[in-house]
Amino acid sequence: MPTLAKTGNEAMAEAMRQINPDVVAAYPITPATEIVMIFSQFVADGLVDTEYVAVESEHSAMSACVGAAAAGCRVMTGTSSQGLQLMSEILPIASALRLPIVMCDVNRALSGPINIHCDHSDTMAVRDFGWLQIFSENAQEAYDNVLQMMRISENKEIQLPGMVTTDGFIISHCMERVETIDDAAAKQYVGAYQPLKSVLDLDNPITLGSLDLQDYYFEHKMPIVEAMQKAKNVILEVGRDFGQKFGREYGLVETYKLDDAEIAMVALGSTCGTARVIIDELRAQGVKVGLLKIRVFRPFPAEAIVAALKNVQAAAIMDRSDMYSDQGGQVFCEIRSALYDADKKPLLANYVYGLGGREICLEDIRRICADTQANAAAGKVKQLIQHYGVRE
Amino acid sequence: MVNLKELAVREDSLCGGHRACTGCGAPIIVRQVLLASKDPVVITSATGCLEVVTTIFPYTAWKVPFLHNAFENSAATCSGIEAAYQSLKRQGKIKADHINFVAFGGDGGTYDIGFQSLSGAMERGHDMLYVCYNNEAYMNTGVQRSSATPMGAATTTAPPGKLRAGKTQFSKNLTEIMVAHGLPYIAQSAVGFWRDLTSKAEKAFNIRGPKFINALQPCQLGWGYDPALTPEMGRLAAETCIWPLYEVENGVYKLNYRPKEKKPVTEFFKPQSRFRHLLRPGNEAVVATIQKEVDRRWEALLKNCEEKIA
């Protein structure tokens, strides 16, 4: 297992090289551009068998991905922010056609105002389109998640597209130590793709993308609902298998010092790394604090979250995006909903933070943990939703 | 050159029983184009009349592989399928020696919302044929104007009224825009000229790379004529030089049809209710403006084709 120094973008491109997709169709966008630049070089140097379609927009990127995947190919792409939004018309078509396209998605704030830095508003905005969504904490996870997502998406019971996300610049451009897998082992792990349908099957011509009216549309949406339910187990199996083979096991969520915790922080992506430092610090001071990292956002691991938080008195839910609904961020709303029927549940407070790349530092986590401790001690939440770190 | 006897025994890729209107020109274009292919075909279509009338689940009129994705991306979707084929072929994972990839789109999906997707796919040089079935308005949603709608035509979003005589702009000359892309083959044809259209499709299928055919498709619903006259409408468009039949092969223009006598544009207008208001007193100036532009475009084309300007 070669250990390399790689940025998140490099790590994702490396996973793509090892997967060796039949087709990649992509359009550059900061901060995801490097992924497709590096991959283009692999194509130019003959290191992959991929047909690279350098399209004129992200809309065409996803459209070409749908065409290529419908033609029975293993297909990948990469994008971010506005690019993801431009694709968004085609994203639910990809899932409805049950095409296991895998996307490297670098989280970046949505315009406007235009901004190139990290928040989760782009990925959250496409959360309801039938795509699997896995968030990465660092470059290592980005690499591991891309390899796993290929297996999850292509699973015969799932057959759904999936996006693996990193946090723009924080992970995408930060160089870290990444343990990679040998090419042969990666190839074996991902396996050969066996498409269930293809418009290139000339002996068995199929019509895909039919007009589907009141009589059938609803029935054709249900398999996506069911596949998302099944995906939870498949993600667990794939994560366990990955752990057995390569030593790094993955679940739907990850807990850190949470077993006996009285207070908890719940977060996605790179912020979890920052939180771990403060949790260690507070633990050394005798504070019973832990972290719940949500790795998989679609399907939403409600059961795992309820179980993980059942003994916690108060939790801070960290949202790196807002829904502008006056009800806090997406993560908060989903967790609050998941806890509604739970017998034992913590007090919750929502922190919408880091929009447009606003830094979240150790001191910020420290203060949020102190707030959470105060909520636990008071037995009530002082402020339900706050936009943390915004200047008055 | 195609031969009717031979075409008659070839199998249609699009079968009957679909739900197109009586006298619809779109299936005529599809069948006349696809009959010209000796190799297998794989089809994409933009959202629009063609997709709607041929694929209402659980039925399909397509005997060949067909993919509909969305409205504005028939070309990009087709380019993805073609890329898939190139990849699989290079890896030795597919047997077929050659497949003709054909993307269809109406004028909405081609001239307007799908224009960027078309331009991109053509520029990238995919081995595919794009066919626009051009009925000169958004017919599927109830006759709204497009950039292919001719000046003066009545549509539901550019209706004639007290201040205006229908659409106030000339149609966009998409065929010439595709010529500017430097494609190996571009052609303009029309329903009513089966030999012309099928021969052009055959020529396109024999050329590797991106090809474009703009086929005028009379629409009885949107144009307002007797459905029995669909081919006649295409012929009138060519006889008035409103819709000339020509092709551009590797940059060389060729006129495929020159009427013995160039009819005035009003001959094309008369059988169609969309132009009825133009023939009423008070709109003579609009008709004259249209005639002048038709003449200008026709003479420019004759020059490009190195034909005598009579």
Distance CA A188, CA A185 (A): 5
Q: In what order do the strands lie in the sheet with B246-249?
A: A207-208, B66-68, B41-45, B100-106, B128-134, B210-216, B185-190, B246-249, B252-255
What ipTM, to 2 d.p.? Answer: 0.97
Q: Which residues of B touch A198 (CB under 8 A)?
A: 65
- pLDDT score recorded for residue B293: 98
How many residues comprise chain A? 392
Q: What's the one-letter identity of residue A182?
A: D
Burial code (b: 16+ CB inside 10 Å, e: under 16) for B193-214 equals: bbebbbbbbbbbbeeeebbbbb
Distance CA B102, CA B277 (A): 38
How many residues comprise chain B? 310
Residue A43, token pair as written in the block: 């194509």
Across the range B41-60, mean pLDDT stands at: 98
Residue B253, token pair as written in the block: 């223009």
Residue B114, token pair as written in the block: 């799908």
Rg (CA), chain B: 19
- The reply to whether B21 touches chain A by the CB within 8 Å rule is no
Q: Among A59, A198, A207, whose Cβ lies nearest the Cβ of B55?
A: A207
Pairing outcome for strands A289-294 and A253-256: antiparallel
Q: Report residue B89 CA to chain centroid gap.
A: 31
Q: Judge whether residue B229 has pLDDT over 90.
A: yes
Distance CA A14, CA A35 (A): 9
Q: What's the one-letter identity of residue A105?
A: D
Whether residue A348 contacts residue A329, with contact meaning beta carbons closer than 8 Å, is answered with no
Closest CA to A124 of A332, A349, A323, A357: A323
- pLDDT score recorded for residue B1: 72
DSSP codes joined into one string, A143-200: HHHHHHHHHHHHSTTT---EEEEEETTTTTT--EEEEPPPHHHHHHHH-----S--TT
Whether residue B134 contacts residue B106, with contact meaning beta carbons closer than 8 Å, is answered with yes
Instruction: List, as ranges, residues 343-372 from A with C-beta within 8 Å of B.
Output: none
Mark yes or no for CB contact B69/A49 under 8 Å: no
Instruction: List, as ranges, residues 64-93 from B with C-beta within 8 Å of A.
Output: 64-70, 72-73, 76-88, 90-91
**Choosing among A93, A199, A219, which should be mutated to test the B contact, i.e. which has the most B CBs within 10 A?**
A199
Across the range B228-240, mean pLDDT stands at: 98
Q: How far apart are the first and last CA of chain B?
A: 29
Mark yes or no for CB contact A60/B117 under 8 Å: yes
pTM over 0.95: yes
Q: Which residues of A touch B88 (CB under 8 A)?
A: 22, 71-73, 200
- pLDDT score recorded for residue A143: 98
- Tokens 């790379």 — which residue? B209
CA distance A38 to chain B (A): 19
**Choosing among B18, B52, B69, which should be mutated to test the A contact, i.e. which has the most A CBs within 10 A?**
B69
Residue B27, token pair as written in the block: 């299936």
Q: Among A51, A89, A202, whose Cβ lies nearest the Cβ of B86?
A: A51
- pLDDT score recorded for residue A115: 98
Distance CA B274, CA B103 (A): 29
Distance CA A21, CA A69 (A): 11
Closest CA to B33 of B5, B2, B6, B65: B2
Q: What's the one-letter identity of residue A332?
A: F
Across the range B119-145, mean pLDDT stands at: 98
- CB contacts < 8 A, A to B, total 166
pLDDT in tens, chain A (392 residues): 789 999 999 999 999 999 999 999 999 999 999 999 999 999 999 999 999 999 999 999 999 999 999 999 999 999 999 999 999 999 999 999 999 999 999 999 999 999 999 999 999 999 999 999 999 999 999 999 999 999 999 999 999 999 999 999 999 999 999 999 999 999 999 999 999 999 999 999 999 999 999 999 999 999 999 999 999 999 999 999 999 999 999 999 999 999 999 999 999 999 999 999 999 999 999 999 999 999 999 999 999 999 999 999 999 999 999 999 999 999 999 999 999 999 999 999 999 999 999 999 999 999 999 999 999 999 999 999 999 999 98
- The reply to whether A199 touches chain B by the CB within 8 Å rule is yes
Whether residue B238 contacts residue B263, with contact meaning beta carbons closer than 8 Å, is answered with no
Distance CA B57, CA B285 (A): 49
- The reply to whether B55 touches chain A by the CB within 8 Å rule is yes
Distance CA A24, CA A54 (A): 8
Mark yes or no for CB contact A71/B85 under 8 Å: yes
- Tokens 């924080």 — which residue? A170
User: Domain-by-domain residue ranges, chain A?
Assistant: 3-246, 253-387
Distance CA A21, CA A47 (A): 11
Domain pair A3-246 / A253-387, same fold: yes
Whether residue A88 contacts residue A130, with contact meaning beta carbons closer than 8 Å, is answered with no
Pairing outcome for strands B252-255 and B246-249: antiparallel
- The reply to whether A72 touches chain B by the CB within 8 Å rule is yes
- pLDDT score recorded for residue B4: 87
- Reported as a pLDDT band with limits 50, 70 and 90, residue B309 is confident
Q: Which residues of A touch B87 (CB under 8 A)?
A: 22-23, 49-51, 68, 73
- The reply to whether B141 touches chain A by the CB within 8 Å rule is no
- pLDDT score recorded for residue B3: 86
Q: Judge whether residue B271 has pLDDT over 80.
A: yes
DSSP codes joined into one string, B88-156: HHHTT----S--EEEEEEEHIIIIITTHHHHHHHHHHT-SEEEEEEE-SSBTTTTSB--TTSPTT---S
CATH fold label, A3-246: Rossmann fold (3.40.50)
Residue B173, token pair as written in the block: 């000359």
Mark yes or no for CB contact B65/A22 under 8 Å: no
Q: What is the DSSP letter of B14?
A: B
Distance CA B63, CA A204 (A): 9
Q: In what order do the strands lie in the sheet with A347-353?
A: A253-256, A289-294, A263-267, A314-319, A347-353, A385-388
Q: Among B51, B66, B81, whose Cβ lies nearest the Cβ of A68?
A: B81
Q: pLDDT tens-digit profile of B217-227?
A: 999 999 999 99
Q: What is the DSSP letter of A211?
A: B
Environment class of residue A328 by beta-carbon count within 10 Å: exposed (0-12), middle (13-18) or buried (19+)?
A: buried
Query: In degrees, to the nearest 5, what angle opens at C-alpha A142 toward C-alphas A138 and A144?
Result: 115
Instruction: List, as ranges, residues 35-54 from B with C-beta within 8 Å of A.
Output: 40, 42, 44, 51-52
- The reply to whether B15 touches chain A by the CB within 8 Å rule is no
Mark yes or no for CB contact B77/A93 under 8 Å: no
| Helical segments of A20-70, H only | 33-44, 58-70
Q: Which residues of A touch B86 (CB under 8 A)?
A: 51
Q: Report residue A223 CA to chain centroid gap.
A: 22
Q: Judge whether residue B253 has pLDDT over 80.
A: yes
Mark yes or no for CB contact B116/A60 under 8 Å: yes
CATH fold label, A253-387: Rossmann fold (3.40.50)
Pairing outcome for strands B128-134 and A132-135: unpaired
